[in-house]
Structure 1
Amino acid sequence: MLKTAHGHAPVHANVEEATYAKVTWRLIPFLFLCYVFAYLDRVNVGFAKLQMLSDLKFSETIYGLGAGIFFIGYFLMEVPSNLMLHRFGARKWIARIMISWGVISAMMIFVKTPTAFYILRFLLGVAEAGFFPGIILYLTYWYPASRRSKITALFMTGIPIAGVVGGPLSGWILNRFHDVNGMPGWQWLFLIEAIPSVVAGIVTFFYLDDKIHGAKWLTDDEKSLLERELARESDKIEVHHAGGAFRNARVWVLCACYFGIIMGLYGISFWLPTLIKASGVTDAFDVGLLTMVPYGAAAIAMVMIGRSSDRTKERRWHVALPAVVGALGLVASTLVAQQPAMAVLALTFATVGILGALCQFWSIPPAFLGGAAAAAGIALINSVGNLAGFVSPYLVGWIKDMTKSTDIGLYCVALSLVVAAAIVLTVPKKVVNH
């Protein structure tokens, strides 16, 4: 037992912090890397679009439908996938998810028709379903609610980092590999960026531990400490059974809130390269470099917002205020659309706000859901909310085909963020602020 300098009281706080630091260094860098690969494979179609549409003679509406149909497969399989993870363990199930989505993402090189595009995007959604909510659930096996906001933010910085890394990488692949061995750059993009997901899936099977008791890298004392912390908060959990999650009104309120936030997320994710190109930047690599700015700023902001949320134990306003900032950024981007520097600045505010709201949102559901209810409830919220990933790109694409402008589509996305901010404030403070 550790003691103070005078040899008296045990330094419980130091032991606790050291133990959680050990867990964090073991889990978060690896899970973060997996999420970077996952998100990159999901949204690299936004960069492939810069060449793919002209090569295959696809319209903006076809692209929007194909980009969004991913989320129909995702929606259908999300809850079953998360329940299977809860039953069979994270190690096997997350490995299965990553390997299957990597293989399907690579198969995008065979797309020649809109039908093939739709089918593969749908199957990619089926394959990836359960990954994100599975990780959110997995973190509840290791961290109590009081620590989860910052940890979730660290994990979810995988989204902006995928943009920071993926933007220049995708632009470089499109330029460097175009017509290599007779394949256009967009086909090389899907093939090259799928490989890390398959490799990471194989590593996952050997690296992750399903629960605390199976972690050989922890001492018995460390395992006991972690399990006591989780047990201490279990009495505060309102719902433990899977069926209870579907009957809980707050779960459905959060579904609506998350739908609005995801409208913003995929409004940015699938259209950011196009919006930057429309401002007057023509080279694919330059477009990729400029996408680093919004995503880099968002990565920093997500961690800062997460720390603020854990320090103050306040959750709702840490979702609502960033969502409003995201909405204002999207509206501002339409007003300076032909000025590259100002457009990137406005889109930076939009990205910071949207991703800041997104990462803080996930500190709320586990505050009142536990056990199988957490598995079902988190998956339900994520699957219903991610239907916005179908609506958002399709809506913006259809509006652009009709009006030759993305402005009205972006206004709709901005409105959804404001509505999400209003909805989250209806959740009782006493339920989530701990």
Structure 2
Amino acid sequence: MNHPIFDQVIERKGTNSVKWDLNEKLFGHEDVLPMWVADMDFMVPNEVIDAIKERLDHRIFGYTIYPTSLADSIMTWMKKRHQWDIRPDWISYSPGVVTAMAMAIGAFTSPGDKIAIQTPVYQPFFHIIERNKRQLVTIQNRLEDNQYQMDFEQLEKVLTPEVKMFILCNPHNPSGKVWTKDDLTRLGELCVKNGILLLSDDIHADIIIGDTSYTPIASISEEIREQTLTFIAPTKTFNLAGLQASSVIIPNRRLKVKFDHYQSNKGISHLNTLGMVGMEAAYVNGEDWFNDFLLYLKENIKTLTHFINENIPKLKVIQPDATYLVWIDAREFGLSDKDLQRLLTEKGKIGLEPGPKYGPGGEGFFRINLACPRTTLNEGLVRLKTAFEGL
């Protein structure tokens, strides 16, 4: 299948790119191929560029209000893609999902309070809990038949009224697991029963590539909805991370007022103009581009899986239900994480995310980003094979 937009290799070095301009600092080698951090190597939809250019042509960038069309674009997208009816007065805005989650921690918990997460999981969860002097509580997901499952035996023991907040990742990063509606219902009811506020990071929710449908946990019941903050953004979906624009869906009026006041008191009160323009344009006019991207991503995942099965069978690919990130199990090699990372960066010359960054259960794993042209992927696979040759 021909995908000229996504096959195009665009030079990103020299653009102050976290992904491409920090090789020496992060990996100790300039010639490492970076396939780690979660942004795409694809051009954004033309409709987004056109909307930003039109706004630039105005040539004045004064203080800006949120147009009603911005909330409308979010509501329409969530209804069409995920069958979730939300209201404009449920929506707050933030420069980013991690920023907004940190604001929620500050607004709704106090230093020393317990906050629970499931591991392995996106590493900023650890940072925003511990750096805000909250007590981290971890529950390790179970890996069964190469798929992650929630450990409800542990969840039921841990999720008591002493825990003030639970942070969910759905779809799950790094494994790409989309939690089932049954699992989410059971988890949500546990939080409701014990008075635990639920933060749900759903930033990868649009990028569904498997058979499991994504369910916003707040859509399951009124009781769960009233105790949940859902964090979304177009940044993963459309490669807009640098525009720094996200939204938080907070149906509970009391919680929303408290969140908005806390953000304002911390000096975070508005998105930048181009972030707003890019967000709205993506949600309104980016769907065709996004659907083509999903097809390309599925082909990349097939390419990776086939190559590893044929050439490095000791590696086990955790097949994702969602996201363009793939979690790979290297434990069969019996290497320490330090030796595994050394092989990847020094022998293979490929920069990947080491599993231990994701907490308990991440040892012996690594994460690779497949949101790249096929030529980049093929080069990365050759380097991956080189890393493990002779073992």
| TM-score of Structure 1 vs Structure 2, range by shorter chain | under 0.3
Q: Looking at secondary structure, tell me which structure has more strand per residue.
A: 2
TM-score by length of 1: 0.25
